[in-house]
Amino acid sequence: MLTRALIWFAAFATGMGASAASAEQPEANDTPTVRPFRIGACVGLGPECPMAGAKAEVSSTYVGASFSGNTEIQAVSVKAYPISFFDAASTTRLFVNYAAPLFYNNIFDPGTQGIGLGADLQFLESKRLLVQPTVMVQRTCAIEFTIVESPGGGSGPGRTCSVRPAGSISVMAAF
């Protein structure tokens, strides 16, 4: 029973569970809609792509994950494609994502994270060129240490949180 459930889940997550009707219809273009491996560059200000850097991504029909960064800061993002297209003529896939930096420095404080919406825009007949704009809401909570200069005083942590818009754009080659 558990084995059957795991096989069903794996087929669902990778998109192999497409309906038999769509499998029987001849497609106008045999180029796959989902190319699972992507490598490229991104620029932005937010937790998905901090500043500018390289980006690598793995994606299936319904879920994906990416790693981006430069020598200063790196970030990880997970994605869900709630509306997945099985049509090979499709050039757009919408997603929701959650992102957070892996390591922190003066650019992002601990507690930075974001949630947003984006799209995979596929170009060329082979769909190997991918442009990925993302709009996010970023929440940052910084820990501040306040020094009180008085006898018997000391320092204590404080927490300041802010919410602001963020976003990025990526250009990647898909394989």
Tell me whether residue 123 is in a domain.
Answer: yes
Number of structural domains (the chain) is 1
Q: What is the pLDDT of residue 137?
A: 96
**36 lies in some domain:** yes
Residue 12 covered by a domain? no
Q: Which domain holds residue 35?
A: 31-174
User: pLDDT of 49-64, one tens digit each?
Assistant: 888 999 999 998 889 9
Q: What are phi and psi of 154, to 5 degrees?
A: -170, -155
Closest CA to 130 of 84, 92, 174: 174
| Start-to-end C-alpha separation, the chain | 35
Range with lowest mean pLDDT among 2-11, 49-58, 70-79, 92-101:
2-11
Mean pLDDT to the nearest integer, 30-42: 82
Give me the CATH number covering residue 99.
2.40.160
Give the pLDDT mean for 83-89.
Answer: 63
Q: How far apart are CA 69 and CA 71, in angstroms?
A: 7
Is 40 within a domain? yes
Residue 157's closest CA among 149, 148, 165?
Answer: 148
**Structural domain contains residue 13:** no
Taking the C-alpha atoms of residue 47 and residue 50, their distance in angstroms, rounded to an integer, is 6
Do the domain assignments include residue 25? no
Q: Would you say residue 92 lies in a domain?
A: yes
- Concatenating the DSSP letter of every residue in 87-106 gives -TT--EEEEEEEEEESS--S
> What distance in Å separates the CA atoms of residue 4 and residue 167, rounded to the nearest whole number?
40
Instruction: Give strand pairing partners of 174.
Output: 38
* Cα 129 from Cα 33, distance rounded (Å): 12
Which of residues 15 and 33 earns the better pLDDT score? 33
Q: Kindly tell me if the per-residue pLDDT of 67 is higher than 50.
A: yes
pLDDT value of residue 47: 86
Instruction: Tell me if 2 is assigned to some domain.
Output: no
Which pTM value belongs to this model? Answer: 0.70
